[in-house]
Structure 1
Amino acid sequence: MAEKIIKVKNTDDFHDTIAKIIISNNINFIPKISVIIPVYNSEQYLRECLDSIVNQSLYEIEIICVDDGSTDNSLNILKEFAAKDCRITVIKQENLYAGIARNAGIAIAKGEYISILDSDDWFELSMYEKMYNAALERECDVVICGFNEFDQTKHVVTSKQGVCKQFCELLIIPEEYSDKLFQITNPAIWNKLFKTSFINKFNLKCSYTKSTNDLNFTYTALYSAKSIYCINEYFINYRINSENSISLKRAKFINDWIYNLTKLKKDLIDKNLFNTFKKTYEQCVIGCGLYEYSQFKDKKDPNIKILKKGIKKLVSIKNYIKFVFKILKE
């Protein structure tokens, strides 16, 4: 078939972009879930990722793979899988990073729910069946699951994360948990299932930045949702210390992190919601800031000054002092 050009709407601080649908799916059902996978130079892990999606126990899904200007064999692998599975759509764009690739996938998603994954991870085969059923049973806008952190260099699961235990199996109303809403889960997009109509209603988009481009999407979804459900299972195997992982280089992108948290605060203020969510927002900044600090191997790295300066602008003096004392203890 002929390639189809799509215009991708991005956040209001970035221009619209162009992507091409080079392979369209050939399904005869309305998908229960649209699975969106940005792909950039993931040939080493891509087959394992896709195998764990095409073999999900929930069959009625569409799989939208967005090649973000890969220079390795990733695009050919996508074509290979699309030739074998009619549920796969392949989109191609220039290298604009994962956030814009995610927006391209959202632009054509037709599923009742949307899931956005990373191409170097792999997933338990019951993930979508269980998360979809949970979403229907609880009639919620967002379902969250846990993940296994898998160290690629050691080949072991180092921890289980993603959902704070005290919130598991609870139906969470954001206003009732306003003081700790952002502490329910991690800021990543990939361990969450979102209702498509909810994404469209609030015009949720990922940022154009190279790192932390899902932070605003995730937290905006949490405070905008009518209800959220945290499932007490670990469906995602999240690879750390992999060769192409942005998280390995995140200390270099500290300005992206500050930019996205600044935008989140501005959005809350503009919507007259900042006072409601101030406590959880500042706890989020401090908690995430400590994590970002831990990623610096060289504690004399000049980017640490940028990190501290950014946090000082985002939180109260009291909370900034708490942050400084905590890093001095390390």
Structure 2
Amino acid sequence: MIDLSIIIPIYNVEKYIRPCIESIYRQGLNENQFEVIIVNDGTKDKSMEMIADIIPAHSNITVINQENQGLSVARNNGIAIAKGEYILMPDSDDMLIDYSVKPLLEKVLAEKADIIMADFVQMNDEEINNIPQHPIKQQEAFKTTEISGKDILYEKYCRWYWRSVYRRKFLHENNISFVPGIYAQDVPFTNECFLKVKKCLRTSWLLNIYRRGHESAASKYSLKRSNDTSIAIRKSWELSRSLSLSPETAYQQDDLLFSIFYTHICAIACGHLRNFSEVCQAINFLKEQIPHLTFNHDKRQRMWAYMYNQLPLTVFAFIIYSKQMLLRKLK
């Protein structure tokens, strides 16, 4: 068994994929120690051409070519053939910080931790292109803290699966995978990982450069994206009901789910859906996924739960739509 599998799904990222792949080979790792699994998810641009010379130059690269099935299926297919004891899944439009992976890998191998979660830095295209002139801040000494996954989840909900290294055995034994076909696949995946993890490490060590401010699938709101988020909320809701959570954890989990729910309905109301009819469709789909929600932490949560559960769909949709339109005018 090798130490690490790095899985990179590729779909229409011709501007960014080469820097991403190149950054993987600036980690100070022996190529016999890790593998790179590139999943060509039926890309329609020149992404694969941009790295055509890199692939044969490294004996540890495996390429999966498939019809476009989305990021979830691409990552799941990569995990299915991975041979590494640990798995890292950076996004294809981001980069790994030079020499950032090695200390994380050495630590989890020594500790046999299920997950180690690192930190990241956000940069736009211009900043990334001028890293020599605007270098990433000096890394502090590498330190880790053992922490429960639930504490990470509830201190600051962390959807960013790409800043963590996962033990492959942990994912397989707990049947954890990405939900196929949805945009918000990170929500149920991350939620399940941190609810089920037994040994988790956290560090402030910087692992990734998160590329912000460019056009991507994540920046386009639509009815499909709204419905995908509803499915993600349902998956997380079902998970929380299926596990034997302590009363304290169940309370925290419900508070977390309310935060996701409320953010979602606000996005539906002001997320640039074409008209009120689409807002009603989005709310209707959410109610089909989760017919009944219960939140009891405070008056605000109970009020939203009551409106969601008791009001006719069009009335509830009109309330959240009107609220967001009013707030927009007041800005």
Which 10-residue stretch deviates more, 270-279 or 256-265? Answer: 270-279
1:196 aligns with 2:175: no
RMSD: 3.4
Residue 214 of structure 1 deviates from its aligned partner by 2.6
SS of structure 2 residue aligned to 1:131: helix
Supply the distance in 2 between the matched residues of 1:152 and 1:307 (Cα, whole angstroms). Answer: 36
User: Which residue pairs with 1:316 in the alignment?
Assistant: 295
Q: Which residue of structure 1 aligns with residue 148 of structure 2?
A: 173
Look up the equivalent residue of 2:188 and give its one-letter code: N
CA gap 1:183/1:254 in 2 versus in 1, 3 angstroms: farther
Aligned counterpart for 2:54 among listed residues 52, 56, 81 = 81
Q: Tell me the CA shift for residue 85 of structure 1.
A: 1.1
Following the alignment from structure 1 to structure 2, what is the Cα–Cα distance between the partners of residues 46 and 299?
31
State whether residues 148 and 238 of structure 1, in contact with CA within 8 Å, keep that contact through their aligned partners in structure 2. yes
CA contact (8 A) 1:183 1:280 kept: no
Equivalent position SS for 2:166 = strand
Query: Which of 184, 197, 209 lines up with 1:212 in the alignment?
Result: 184
**Greater CA drift, 76-85 or 100-109:** 76-85
Task: Give the whole-Å Cα distance in 1 for the aligned partners of 2:235 and 2:250.
Answer: 14
Which residue of structure 1 lines up, in the alignment, with residue 307 of structure 2? none
Deviation of residue 297 (structure 1)? 5.4
Correspondences of 1:65-80 after superposition (within 5 Å): 65-80=38-53
Asked whether the equivalents of residues 7 and 38 of structure 2 are also in contact (C-alpha less than 8 Å), the reply is yes
Gaps of at least 5 residues in structure 1 are 1-29, 161-167
Structure number with bigger Rg: 2
Shift of 1:270: 2.3
Q: Is the 8 A contact 1:135 1:143 kept in 2?
A: yes
The aligned amino acid for 1:53 is: I
User: Among residues 144, 148, 161, which one is paired with 2:117 in the alignment?
Assistant: 144
Any idea what SS the aligned residue of 1:268 has? helix
List aligned pairs for 1:1-330, cutoff 5 A.
Answer: 30-59=1-30, 60-152=33-125, 169-174=144-149, 177=151, 181-243=153-215, 245-250=216-221, 252=223, 253-273=225-245, 275=247, 277-289=249-261, 292=264, 293=266, 296=270, 298=272, 302=276, 306=282, 313-316=292-295, 318=297, 321-322=300-301
CA change 1:209–1:304 in 2 (3 A) is same
Q: Contact (CA 8 Å) 1:286, 1:323: kept in 2 or not? A: no
Q: Which amino acid aligns with 1:171?
A: E
Deviation of residue 57 (structure 1)?
1.4
Distance 1:289 1:231 in 2: 29
For 1:230 and 1:301, the matched residues in 2 are separated by 43
Q: CA deviation at 1:290?
A: 5.5
How many residues align structurally? 288
CA distance in 2, matches of 1:57, 1:299: 46
CA contact (8 A) 1:262 1:314 kept: no
Q: Deviations over 1:201-231 (max 9, x none)?
A: 1121111133111322221111111121111
Give the secondary-structure state (helix, strand or coil) at the position aligned to 2:93: coil
Kindly indicate which of the two structures has a greater share of residues assigned to helix: 2
Superposed displacement of residue 104, structure 1: 0.6
> Could you report, residue by residue, the CA deviation over 1:26-81 in whole angstroms, capped at 9, with x for unpaired residues?
xxxx4211000110011110100001012221232100000110011112334322
* Residue 274 of structure 1, CA deviation: 7.7
Q: CA 1:153–1:274 in structure 2 vs 1: closer, same or farther (change >3 Å)? A: farther
TM-score scaled by length of structure 1: 0.75
Structure 2 regions of 5+ residues with no counterpart? 137-142, 305-319
CA spacing shift, 1:102–1:323, aligned 2, 3 Å? farther
Who is 1:4 aligned against? Answer: none
Return the TM-score normalized by structure 2.
0.75
Q: What percentage of aligned pairs have identical amino acids? A: 24
